[in-house]
């Protein structure tokens, strides 16, 4: 079989290699980009089309136990959006939390070829890996929840730094994760132990382990740095969603010093005002700090109006929010590791808070000076489905459209923001950075997010249209690892040879003797059954460790 | 148009196309070629029904159709007359028009209906006018009359519709009711009106009232007089004339929800 492809006449956007809208040829062989191919290669004429690397979603919730719980919680949502079988693709169900097959296909129809699941408790990592294997087309990896792990917290509290680092490495290996995720560090345990108790401040000491969130964050940043993971700790800050939480966010970023740190869905962490009252925008303060500190990367977590589902390991937050929409919610048990809360939700333009959240997200995009460190995300499905990405792109690229959209939402919220004054419009090159090149660089994925020689041949080709939503909604061609999947807007293949991205830091085997007694005492599962064997994995690739102090050194 | 069942399907037949909206525009020959799903296989309507012209200006369907689902789905206008028993999902998501069934009906009648009328002369199954599993609301308008008995979960999560039952009801009648009216003449199952937010459930027979309901008063609502006369004129439900001027105990609940629903129970 001829596996060579040549793309000619396309307008190439490859920010990593400083190619901004230049017409050049791209050659693909054996799933990689090469400098030339034989004359027998299949030729794709991309005249007048934009050629970009495949999209990389740095933060979404698409696999694992809580995603599945959300699917089970909302059968009515699936019924309204069936995903039909075609000659080349399998059937599934859509809605705000699509089934595994539909997730893969729908990401592909937006031109995305990599997506990282953002929160999996290690206890359920097997489930996440199984679902990832079942999600076609896109490469996956997941971040493992360790921020509320009781055992690790006790190691930090006792100052056993070396053992803590080894234990983190053991947990990453045991769960086959990509990096560490901290969700409301130090907040879940007190909530589980005492009725609705949460940490209110980063220097607060919880009642269960005498430890402040700052100490937890600091210890994890240190450990991840020393282990040299490709991506720094991925943090969902304390006080997320509360008015006046921007202080906590800035303090969290300060904790990192000049070490790298990724703030997840930063929009939810950028509220001014008093706790318990209506929020105000603090996008200026937040973007000012992010702009000035090259070690910080973040994804936005843009809120889009319409259906959404809160799906988070921040159980105290879901417990609080369940009061706003008294229908159904789930709080699942994750033993000594983390929390879990799920709540179906609707964002409505006429509601002050929702409109403000929408505006704050856009402000953060428009105020940030360095697109490499700000990543497009809706924190799918927390801020809205990933199917909203084309609309977000249009809002960023079209000032007039944004102004028109602002007229149809809560005016009190709009008047309290500076969104109307921001006339910046993203260019195609900048969009390419925030959806592809940037996240790949933040994740330390050297073979993704660019079109240089040796990169993975994950390529998307869009027709260049005036309506950017339309343009990004339907790529004409999508390629994954050199295989043409979508041709002329139609699936022509259901390519499932995909990989799980993971890390495998080295650790001292003797740490298992330290961890095991805790399992014997507190876990429902035997220590020997907990860690996932390498044999259990399907296709996977270990990303080499290379953490630096900022993404530019990679 | 007249459809007569000539072959009993082995597995349920999904007959979403049997509505005036689809068939009225077609000639009998074309109607025979309309596609239906028999299990997961596509079949022609003619494989199961004889199609002929009818003198009446309505869609007549005849036969024992307890395995035929979704007749009148998404119907917006016109009239269907069904002579015989009918299967589940009759009038699913209908917005207007009238369906009359001279026979018994299956489960899940009229899910997500928002307008129109359904009149069943026989008995009904479970979950009539009920919200689908997971959804907070289902039926949002219209009128459903069942002259016989019905089973459990009548009007689950219903808003703004009227249901009249001539016979007995199963358990959980009007559970999670949002708004609308349910009137029943026969014996009631347990937990009537559990979790109701607003709306009215009117019962002629004594029933077990949940502890989350509180007693208000004994009175004689005027609108009920009109309601009973409407039922007498429109249906063949036989009821005692004493109901028309009768007094009703009013209970409000459910206290675990907004406590704004009412349960009217005939006293004497």
Ranges of each domain in chain B = 104-266
Please report the pLDDT score of residue A322 as a whole number. Answer: 86
Chain B: closest CA distance from residue A73 (Å): 7
Please report the pLDDT score of residue A61 as a whole number. Answer: 95
B134/A77 touch (CB, cutoff 8 Å), yes or no? yes
Asked if the structure places residue A278 within a domain, the reply is yes
Chain A positions in Cβ-Cβ contact with residue B74 (cut-off 8 Å): none
Interval A48-106: pLDDT, tens: 999 999 999 999 999 999 999 999 999 888 988 999 999 999 999 999 999 999 999 99
- Burial label, A149 (beta-carbon count in 10 A; 0-12, 13-18, 19+): buried
Chain B positions in Cβ-Cβ contact with residue A73 (cut-off 8 Å): 134
Interval A129-171: pLDDT, tens: 999 999 999 999 999 999 888 899 999 989 999 999 999 999 9
- Among chain A residues, the shortest Cα distance to B132 is held by A76
Residue A400's contacts (CB-CB under 8 Å, 6 or more residues apart) are: none
Interval A97-118: pLDDT, tens: 999 999 999 999 999 999 999 9
Q: Indicate whether A549 pLDDT > 90.
A: no
Interval A401-457: pLDDT, tens: 999 999 999 999 999 999 999 999 999 999 999 999 999 999 999 999 999 999 999
Q: How many CB atoms lie within 10 A of CB A437?
A: 26
Angle at B259 between CA B255 and CA B263, to 5 degrees: 100
Per-residue confidence band for A195, with pLDDT thresholds at 50, 70 and 90: low
Q: What percent of chain A has pLDDT over 90?
A: 73
Please report the pLDDT score of residue A205 as a whole number. Answer: 73
Please report the pLDDT score of residue A211 as a whole number. Answer: 83
Interval A287-310: pLDDT, tens: 999 999 999 999 999 999 999 999
Per-residue confidence band for A459, with pLDDT thresholds at 50, 70 and 90: very high
Q: Is B211 on the interface with A (CB under 8 A)?
A: no
Torsion of CA B47, B100, B71, B104, to 10 degrees: -80
If you average pLDDT over every residue of chain A, what do you get?
A: 91
Chain B positions in Cβ-Cβ contact with residue A75 (cut-off 8 Å): 132-134
The total number of structural domains that make up chain A? 1
Whether residue A183 contacts residue A147, with contact meaning beta carbons closer than 8 Å, is answered with yes
Interval A477-497: pLDDT, tens: 999 998 999 999 999 988 777
Tokens of A60: 């979404």
Distance CA(A311)–CA(A292), nearest Å, equals 31
Tokens of A81: 């959006």
B134/A327 touch (CB, cutoff 8 Å), yes or no? no
CA distance readout (Å), B100 to A219, A269, A509, A515, B156: 72, 58, 75, 70, 22
Q: Is B55 on the interface with A (CB under 8 A)?
A: no
Residue B154's contacts (CB-CB under 8 Å, 6 or more residues apart) are: B124, B127, B128, B129, B130, B163, B165, B169, B170, B172, B173, B174, B182
Per-residue confidence band for A474, with pLDDT thresholds at 50, 70 and 90: very high
Angle at A200 between CA A195 and CA A201, to 5 degrees: 145
Per-residue confidence band for B96, with pLDDT thresholds at 50, 70 and 90: very high
Whether residue A316 contacts residue A191, with contact meaning beta carbons closer than 8 Å, is answered with yes
Per-residue confidence band for A316, with pLDDT thresholds at 50, 70 and 90: confident
Please report the pLDDT score of residue A155 as a whole number. Answer: 92
Specify the DSSP class assigned to residue A16.
G
Q: Indicate whether B78 pLDDT > 90.
A: yes
Please report the pLDDT score of residue A321 as a whole number. Answer: 87
Whether residue A79 contacts residue B132, with contact meaning beta carbons closer than 8 Å, is answered with yes
* Test mutation, B89, B111, B135, B178, chain A, max A CBs within 10 A: B135
> Domain of A373?
52-491
Please report the pLDDT score of residue A337 as a whole number. Answer: 86
Per-residue confidence band for A203, with pLDDT thresholds at 50, 70 and 90: confident
Asked if the structure places residue A35 within a domain, the reply is no
> Would the CA dihedral through B11, B17, B19, B24 be positive or negative?
negative
Per-residue confidence band for B6, with pLDDT thresholds at 50, 70 and 90: very high
Chain B: closest CA distance from residue A72 (Å): 9
B134/A74 touch (CB, cutoff 8 Å), yes or no? yes
Angle at A70 between CA A64 and CA A74, to 5 degrees: 150
Run of H or E including A414: helix A411-415
Lowest mean pLDDT among A397-401, A547-551, B53-57: A547-551
A73/B134 touch (CB, cutoff 8 Å), yes or no? yes
Chain B positions in Cβ-Cβ contact with residue A79 (cut-off 8 Å): 132
Q: Indicate whether B85 pLDDT > 80.
A: yes
Q: Indicate whether A206 pLDDT > 70.
A: no
Asked if the structure places residue A551 within a domain, the reply is no
Residue with tokens 């007359």: B81
Chain A positions in Cβ-Cβ contact with residue B135 (cut-off 8 Å): 76
Interval A367-385: pLDDT, tens: 999 999 999 999 999 999 9
A75/B136 touch (CB, cutoff 8 Å), yes or no? no
- 3-state SS, residue A7: strand
Do you find a cis peptide bond into A381, omega within 30 degrees of 0? Answer: yes
What b/e string do you get for A158-197 counting C-beta neighbours within 10 Å, with b at 16 or more? eeeeebbbbbbbbbbbbbbbbbbbbbbbbbbbbbbeeeeb
Asked if the structure places residue A61 within a domain, the reply is yes
Chain A: closest CA distance from residue B133 (Å): 7
Angle at A134 between CA A128 and CA A137, to 5 degrees: 115
Q: Indicate whether A546 pLDDT > 90.
A: no
Please report the pLDDT score of residue A394 as a whole number. Answer: 95
Q: How many CB atoms lie within 10 A of CB B133?
A: 10
Q: Is the model more confident about B56 or about A132?
A: A132
Please report the pLDDT score of residue B57 as a whole number. Answer: 83
The partner residues of B251 in beta bridges, in order of sequence, read B215, B263
Asked if the structure places residue A274 within a domain, the reply is yes
Torsion of CA A435, A436, A439, A442, to 10 degrees: -150
List % helix, strand, coil for chain B (3-state, nearest 5). 10, 30, 60
- Burial label, A533 (beta-carbon count in 10 A; 0-12, 13-18, 19+): exposed
Enumerate long-range contacts of A253-259, CB under 8 Å, 24 or more apart.
A253/A289, A253/A290, A253/A293, A253/A296, A255/A202, A255/A214, A255/A217, A255/A218, A255/A221, A256/A217, A256/A221, A256/A232, A256/A295, A256/A296, A257/A295, A258/A293, A258/A295, A258/A549, A259/A221, A259/A222, A259/A225, A259/A232, A259/A295, A259/A549
């Amino acid at each position: 079989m001829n596996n060579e492809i040549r793309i000619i006449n396309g307008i190439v956007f490859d920010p990593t290699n400083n190619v901004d809208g230049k017409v050049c040829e791209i050659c693909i062989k054996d799933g990689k980009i090469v400098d030339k191919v034989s004359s027998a290669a299949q030729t794709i004429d991309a005249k007048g089309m934009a050629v970009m690397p495949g999209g990389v979603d740095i933060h979404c919730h698409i696999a694992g136990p809580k995603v599945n719980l959300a699917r089970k919680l909302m059968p009515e949502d699936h019924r309204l959006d069936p995903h039909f079988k075609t000659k080349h693709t399998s059937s599934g169900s859509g809605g705000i939390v699509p089934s595994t097959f539909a997730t893969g296909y729908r990401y592909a129809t937006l031109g995305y070829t990599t997506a990282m699941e953002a929160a999996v408790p290690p206890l359920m990592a097997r489930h996440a890996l199984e679902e990832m294997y079942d999600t076609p087309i896109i490469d996956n990896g997941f971040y493992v929840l360790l921020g509320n792990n009781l055992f690790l917290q006790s190691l930090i509290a006792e100052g056993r730094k070396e053992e803590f680092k080894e234990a983190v490495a053991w947990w990453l290996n045991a769960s086959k994760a990509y990096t560490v995720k901290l969700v409301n560090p130090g907040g879940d345990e007190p909530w589980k132990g005492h009725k609705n108790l949460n940490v209110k401040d980063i220097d607060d000491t919880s009642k269960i382990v005498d430890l402040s969130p700052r100490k937890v964050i600091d210890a994890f940043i240190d450990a991840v740095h020393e282990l040299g993971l490709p991506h720094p700790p991925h943090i969902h800050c304390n006080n997320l969603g509360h008015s006046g939480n921007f202080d906590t966010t800035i303090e969290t970023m300060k904790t990192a010093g000049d070490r790298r740190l990724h703030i997840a869905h930063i929009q939810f962490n950028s509220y001014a005002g008093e706790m318990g009252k209506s929020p105000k925008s603090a996008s200026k303060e937040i973007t000012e700090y992010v702009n000035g500190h090259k070690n910080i990367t973040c994804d936005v977590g843009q809120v889009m109006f319409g259906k959404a589902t809160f799906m988070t390991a921040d159980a105290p937050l879901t417990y609080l929010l369940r009061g706003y929409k008294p229908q159904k919610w789930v709080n699942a048990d994750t033993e000594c590791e983390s929390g879990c809360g799920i709540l179906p939700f609707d964002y409505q333009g006429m509601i002050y808070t929702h409109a403000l959240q929408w505006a704050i997200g856009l402000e953060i995009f428009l105020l940030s000076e360095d697109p490499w460190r700000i990543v497009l995300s809706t924190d799918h499905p927390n801020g809205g489905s990933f199917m909203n990405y084309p609309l977000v792109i249009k809002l960023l690229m079209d000032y007039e459209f944004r102004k028109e959209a602002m007229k149809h939402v809560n005016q009190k919220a709009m008047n309290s923001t500076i969104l109307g004054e921001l006339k910046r419009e993203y260019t195609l090159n900048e969009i390419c950075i925030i959806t592809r090149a940037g996240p790949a660089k933040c994740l330390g994925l050297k073979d993704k997010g660019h079109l240089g020689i040796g990169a993975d041949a994950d390529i998307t080709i869009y027709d260049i249209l005036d309506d950017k939503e339309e343009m990004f909604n339907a790529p004409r061609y999508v390629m994954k690892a050199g295989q043409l999947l979508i041709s002329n807007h139609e699936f022509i293949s259901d390519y499932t040879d995909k990989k799980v991205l993971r890390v495998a830091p080295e650790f001292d085997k003797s740490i298992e003797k330290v961890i095991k007694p805790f399992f014997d005492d507190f876990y429902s599962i035997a220590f020997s059954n907990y860690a996932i064997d390498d044999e259990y994995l399907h296709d996977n690739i270990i990303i080499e460790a290379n953490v630096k102090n900022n993404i530019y050194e990679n | 148009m007249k459809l007569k069942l000539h072959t009993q399907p082995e597995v349920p037949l999904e007959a979403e196309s049997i509505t005036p909206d689809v068939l009225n525009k077609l000639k009998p020959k074309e109607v025979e070629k309309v596609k239906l799903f028999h299990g997961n296989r596509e079949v022609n309507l003619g494989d199961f029904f004889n199609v002929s012209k009818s003198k009446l200006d309505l869609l007549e369907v005849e036969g024992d159709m307890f395995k035929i689902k979704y007749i009148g789905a998404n119907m917006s206008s016109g009239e269907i007359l069904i002579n015989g028993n009918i299967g589940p999902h009759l009038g699913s998501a209908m917005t207007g028009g009238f369906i009359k069934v001279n026979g018994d009906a299956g489960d899940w009648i009229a899910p997500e209906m928002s307008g129109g009328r359904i009149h069943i002369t026989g008995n009904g199954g479970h979950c009539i006018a009920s919200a689908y599993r997971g959804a907070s609301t289902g039926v949002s308008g219209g009128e459903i009359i069942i002259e016989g008995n019905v089973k459990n979960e009548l009007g689950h999560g219903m808003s703004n519709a009227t249901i009249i039952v001539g016979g007995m009801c199963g358990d959980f009648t009007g559970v999670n009711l949002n708004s609308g009216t349910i009137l029943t003449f026969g014996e009631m199952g347990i937990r009537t009106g559990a979790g109701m937010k607003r709306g009215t459930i009117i019962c002629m027979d004594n029933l077990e009232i949940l502890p989350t309901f509180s007693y208000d008063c004994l009175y004689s609502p005027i609108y009920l007089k009109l309601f009973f006369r409407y039922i007498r004129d429109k249906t063949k439900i036989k009821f005692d004339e004493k109901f028309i001027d009768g007094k009703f105990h009013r209970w409000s609940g459910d206290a675990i929800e907004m406590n704004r629903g009412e349960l009217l129970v005939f006293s004497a």
